[in-house]
């Protein structure tokens, strides 16, 4: 990856809805060279997909919640069962295996506290192996996810 590849990645991460011609102009390449580099970045694993960034508030999801989960056991079978169940639970936006006080950190969004309570009772409490949960409600986002930092120096994924 060189500086031009880094500019392509930064531009695509900021807004991938433009045309390749627009991107090529932004980064100073011909259309064919830009297309070739994008395909190379996809094949190399730098680009894993494209999508739209949605507004939680516009979708009526006013409450953002973080839940720390501790399991009864950290055996491979327990972790696998929990992770499989999490991946089948649409209300869970993100799940991270962590080191520290809890085994997992979950991120959820809900319309209101009542909907979160329903999710808590019917979905989270039913996840396999849960010993305890600790919930934190976000009051406001000070800095929201805006993409990964793209280094200008060469790096090979993997």
Domain boundaries, the chain: 3-43, 63-137
pTM for the predicted model, two decimal places: 0.83
Mean pLDDT over 1-22 rounds to 94
pLDDT in tens, 43-76: 999 999 998 889 999 999 999 999 999 999 999 9
| 3-43 fold | Arc Repressor Mutant, subunit A (1.10.10)
Q: How many CB atoms lie within 10 A of CB 103?
A: 23
The domain over range 63-137 is classified in CATH as 3.30.70.920 = yes
CB 67 within 8 A of CB 109: no
pLDDT in tens, 71-124: 999 999 999 999 999 999 999 999 999 999 999 999 999 999 999 999 999 999
Sheet holding 63-71, edge to edge: 92-97, 104-110, 63-71, 130-137
List phi, psi (to 5°) of 151: -70, 145
For residue 146, what pLDDT is reported? Answer: 84
Provide the token pair at 100. 């520290």
pLDDT band at 154 (very low <50, low <70, confident <90, very high): low
């Amino acid at each position: 990856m060189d500086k031009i590849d880094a500019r392509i990645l930064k531009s695509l991460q900021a807004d991938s809805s433009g045309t390749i011609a627009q991107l090529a102009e932004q980064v100073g390449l011909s259309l064919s060279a830009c297309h070739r580099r994008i395909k190379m970045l996809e094949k190399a694993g730098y680009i894993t997909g494209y999508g739209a960034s949605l507004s939680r508030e516009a979708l009526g999801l006013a409450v953002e919640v973080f839940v720390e989960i501790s399991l009864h056991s950290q055996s491979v079978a327990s972790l696998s069962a929990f992770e499989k169940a999490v991946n089948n639970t649409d209300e869970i936006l993100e799940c991270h295996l962590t080191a520290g006080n809890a085994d997992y950190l979950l991120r959820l969004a809900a319309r209101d506290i009542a909907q979160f309570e329903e999710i808590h009772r019917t979905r989270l409490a039913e996840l396999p192996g849960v010993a305890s949960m600790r919930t934190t409600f976000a009051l406001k986002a000070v800095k929201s996810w805006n993409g990964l930092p793209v280094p200008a120096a060469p790096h090979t994924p993997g």
